[in-house]
């Protein structure tokens, strides 16, 4: 009877967190590529909000920031795909590329969140930009944490 009780109280996850994390990484990777393309194609019109004042000081700001986002998204997806292939060297390269891509997206979002926070008192600035970018950065970092926990459990390090 005790064995039956233990089996009934066990929780069986519907979607393991690692699968959900990988799917979310792919979605955010494709979203980063999409947004990066939008930043480049829309040009300076996209960076007209006061929150982008400091970011507009970089050389060719829309091309620079769009390219950073596209490259980060590609690295996230490529790293995740390589990580799922067999062979330890591929997995290690996959972890590295995915980590760099996630880091790039997180830094991009934190940079834009700081720009939104600095422009918070300007009446014409976007009021939700800082919170949105900060939430995306935190989400990406949580995904990296989930993935890293999985690696530590798998390799026993």
Q: Report residue 143's pLDDT band, with 50, 70 and 90 as the boundaries.
A: confident
Domain membership of residue 20 as a residue range: 15-152
Q: Let me know if residue 111 belongs to a domain.
A: yes
Q: Which of 30-34, 86-90, 102-106, 127-131 has the lowest mean pLDDT?
A: 127-131
Total domains present in the chain: 1
Show the 3-state SS of 115-146.
HHHHCCCCCCCCCCHHHHHHHHHHHHHHHHHH
User: For the whole model, what pTM was predicted?
Assistant: 0.73
Q: Let me know if residue 157 belongs to a domain.
A: no
Q: What is the mean pLDDT of residues 23-29?
A: 85
Q: Let me know if residue 64 belongs to a domain.
A: yes
Residues 6 or more apart whose CB falls under 8 angstroms from that of 49 comprise 119, 124, 125, 126, 129
Q: Let me know if residue 133 belongs to a domain.
A: yes
Q: Let me know if residue 71 belongs to a domain.
A: yes
Q: Let me know if residue 21 belongs to a domain.
A: yes
Please, what is the average pLDDT of the chain? Answer: 77
Q: Let me know if residue 9 belongs to a domain.
A: no
Q: Let me know if residue 2 belongs to a domain.
A: no
């Amino acid at each position: 009877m005790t064995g039956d009780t233990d089996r009934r109280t066990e929780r069986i996850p519907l979607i393991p967190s690692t699968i959900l994390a990988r799917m979310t990484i792919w979605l955010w990777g494709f979203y980063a590529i999409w947004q990066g393309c939008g930043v480049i194609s829309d040009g300076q019109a996209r960076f007209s909000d006061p929150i982008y004042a400091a970011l507009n000081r970089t050389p060719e700001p829309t091309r620079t920031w769009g390219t950073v986002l596209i490259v980060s998204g590609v690295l996230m997806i490529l790293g995740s795909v390589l990580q799922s292939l067999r062979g330890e060297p591929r997995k290690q390269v996959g972890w590295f590329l995915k980590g760099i891509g996630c880091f790039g997206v997180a830094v991009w979002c934190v940079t834009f969140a700081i720009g939104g926070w600095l422009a918070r008192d300007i009446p014409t600035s976007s009021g939700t930009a800082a919170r949105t970018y900060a939430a995306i950065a935190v989400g990406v970092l949580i995904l990296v944490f989930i993935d890293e926990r999985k690696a530590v459990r798998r390799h026993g390090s």
